[in-house]
Every structure is written in C-alpha cells, then in structure tokens.
Structure 1
C-alpha cells in the first residue's frame, strides 16, 4: 500500500505517552534512527483496526507500553520480533521455511506490552485488532463454540497459531499491496478484506477442531473420499452439480457423502457448494465480470435480496458496493 515513508527516532518513541525504550547501545542519542519505512494504521470501523508496516530496523531495541483488551491477529512476513504481554512471551519469525503463519492473541484486560527487536533487519507485518465490542457486534464470540476457538475467547492472553490458507495468504497480499483508490473506496476495500481475514482466522481455528474430530470419527478411506469430493466440486463449480454426481466421483452414496460433509465442514454438500460459489461471485463482482443478478444466480440464490444478505454477512460489504468499487 502506498504510504509516506517515515523515520522513527529515539525521540519519536519517547514522546509517545506511556512508552519507554531500552537499547544495548549505550551511545544511542535522541536523534538516532530506530526504524524507517512505510507504516499504515487506521480504525476501519469502530473497534476494528488495521496496522501495516514495511520498514528497515536500524538496531536492536526494546519498547514497552500497554495493550488494550481485544483480539489481535498477527501476521509476520519478514523479520524476527519478540513480544511480551503481561507474563506471556511470543516469538515471531516471518515466513519460516516458506510457511506463512498467523497468531491470534486474546487480551481480556489491558496489560503491559513489550516489543523486542534483535538488530538490523527488514520488518514486514500486518496486525488486525478488534475490540470486545466489535467482536460482540459481529457475533463472533457467540459462534466460537468449543475447542481452539472457544479456548481463544475463554481467558486472558489465550493464543492460537495456525498455517494460513491460500485465501488468507491472498488477503494478506491484497492488504499489503492495495491498489490506488479514492479514499472512500480504499476504506471499503480495506474493511472488506480485513473482516474476511478475521473470519479466516476464526475459521482456521474451528477447522482445527473439526479436523481433530474428523480424524477420530472417520476412516482413512472416508478422508480420501472427502478429498475427491472437494476436488471435484472445486473443478466443476460452474456446472449443474448434484449430490449423486459428486458421490459417484468420490466413490460414496449420497447419504454417506452428506454425513462426511456435515462432519468435516459443518454443513451439507450444497451448503459447501454455495459457500464456494459465493466466494467466486465476490471475485467476479469485484472484477466487473458479472452483474449482481448473474452473481446471485451463480451463487445459488433465486432472490437477490437473500443473496445480498448472505454476501454482506460473509464479506462485510454489499454486492453493489463491491461492483461499484471495481
């Protein structure tokens, strides 16, 4: 994302309220540079914040302040940084072994915050922060269920780390390399993708629980059939699919296929198909490749009003706004 380059000196850190600074370099002066690069921080919606940085850190330092309550989803692309929140330590190493990971941390109350940089390095990262009020408004806490997602919302400084899906990696890329847009369209662009990224994070945690349950409840043959069914659906998403057709390709009868999808995806076969079609409709509207009625029918909604409701719930923005912003 294009943003003015900024240089942060020792003085700039210390002029911030509640911030203290330590460095192993005892010759450090107030005018010495700590980091320089591109930084972006904005409240996209009340209680929902996006922070992006692509900067060069000049030296090792430790900055201390305080963190507010809420959920933080953290994605490091380059650089090694240590965080300490309260008495918990977190280590981040961007794209270790070529794998992009996300970390979700839930702070139930304000607490001390310490950030440690180990030396000169390039730092690229993205942080989405959501207040408890925003999480309640979006109904996310109520859908946490049990397992990993429930654990994340259940206690102070609960955390989960997960490997990003291809879609989540795409969203991170779209946020860190946003196109030039008017301010109003830029805000919509960022908000829609940020909300989807939070949804991807919680889906990943819920999927971890589902995968654990599936591993216990399904045989290896069931898992093979499930993969065949998913692959066939994705390869034929625009075709007139039926449960019988998908079942034949997967080597399982229709009722057995429905059982697999309810266990593994938490929805019916056609609930899963509709979810994928809705995601493709979003992409097509954004690119101007479909009209709203066409996207509605493609996603499986005979009623444009129902399509609009489902679309807004999934992506945080209306179909009309998405197409207008292409």
Structure 2
C-alpha cells in the first residue's frame, strides 16, 4: 500500500496534485509526501518499494519535473517515447492533452527515491508577481529553455540544479515554508537560465529498445560466468559495434559503464534496506575484494559504504521523529 500524506500550511485553495493518482491502486509499498508551497507549486517526496505503476495525466499545461535521488526510474509514454533516469538525472514534461496521457513506469531496483516538482505556470507566475516581485520567473522562457518544441526531455540535472534538488529533498520534512519557497524559486530561476544540452536522438525503435533491455537483463543476471559482447552480438545476429551503439542510444552510456553503475546502485539500496555485511554486499555487486568495492563506491557516491549507510539511517530516523511530533 502506498501512503499519500499531504502537508499544506499555505491556506490557499485546495489543489489535487497530478502525479499521485497513479499510485493509489498500485501494487507495492512506500510513502508519498506532498508539500504545497504556494499557489501553483507543490513538491512530492517519493519513497517507494515497488516494481511498476501506471500514471494517467489529465492536467493540460502542468509542468512536471522529476529528479532521481536513488534507484532507477524507467517510463514509456508510447512505443517511441521513453525516459530512463538514474541518480542525478531529471525529466521534464508538459502535458499537452495528446502526448503522455498514459505512461507505464518501472523501478528496476524494486525501490525508488525521488522528488517531483509540479508547476501550474499561470497560477505560480501570478503568485510570484504579487508576493515576490524581485524573484519573478518567466515560465514561458523556462519552458522554452527546458523543452524547446518537445513535450518532454530528460538528462543530467547538472551540479548546480542537483544541489538544490537534494536540499529540497532533505529539508522538506522540516516544513520550513520560507526556506522551501526560497529553494524552489532558486531552482526555477536556474532551470530558466542554465543552457540545456542538446539531445541527440531521443527515439529508438521498439525493436531496438526491447533488444537493449534484453541484453541488459542478460548481463545483469549473469553474475557467475563472463559473457562477452561478441557472444551476445553473435547470438542476436548483429555486430559488436552495432550492439554498443544501440545500447548507448537507449541507455545513454556504454554497456559496461551502465552495468558497473547499476550494480553500485543496487549495493547502495542494500546498504540502506538490509543489515547485510558490507563484504556480502560487495560480492553481490561483483567485487571479490571489499577494498576495491569501497574505492568504487566512494568514487560514485563521494563516501564509503559504511558512512553512506550511517547517513541514510540517520536521515530515515529524523524523518520518523518529525512525523511523530
């Protein structure tokens, strides 16, 4: 069961967030905390343990910005449109009434932590002009900068935006409304002004996407024996260079880079959600040597596995204490 908890100290007109609807009947467990910050703007903290869910969009013109904190997020809007997020990535969409009405999402690691910022541009701009004229945001410029002529985009958030996303995620439970408003406005201003990278081809054929998923699953589940790309390419009747190009087009990174990152993320999940010894988690991630695992983990997360576990457990404890107050 997914618990949806609403936190609203604004006193403005009640508002129904767009993304929570798909979770009400989803199979799984977890929590969604929704914080109404001001008219037209709310953030959701998502902490989920589930495999899939279906989202139905109904609010035309709503800008939705998702940021991945931990886990993996994969969603398909159609046979051509899909999004793949890893920690540090964001996805932006603006529902136009035609594209993305229904999306099918997966959490390959079985869990996900993220932040979703929902913006009603007209209402938000009106509130900012009245209450914070010195920090106004031109939402038409923001939308053009993020999306151009597309209805969705995804990619790395970049260090400046990632820092603000993480500040929002870690500080929302304390419900300091002035601080959260300031951070959201800072984020919106950054997103309006920081140049976004031009994507290459966001689209892959259904056949390419399915084959890339199959190759990934094969590599991830084959922990015991080594399988070369040449073997996989031969099995599927394609060249190694075509396999590598196709995989990178779908997942955005080379094959073995993806596998290494994915297993480190699995390890991060195990550190937080289990009491397994770090040596066992290292072996599960494909490392025979715990020190090599610790070195790779530090390079990826900026901290040792034991420090990561301690910090995550401390955040979870503080969150529980705040909820009980």
Q: Common fold, TM-score beyond 0.5?
A: no
Instruction: Give the strand-richer structure, 1 or 2.
Output: 1
Quick check: which has more Rg, 1 or 2? 1
Provide the TM-score with structure 2 as the length reference: 0.44
TM-score (norm 1): 0.43
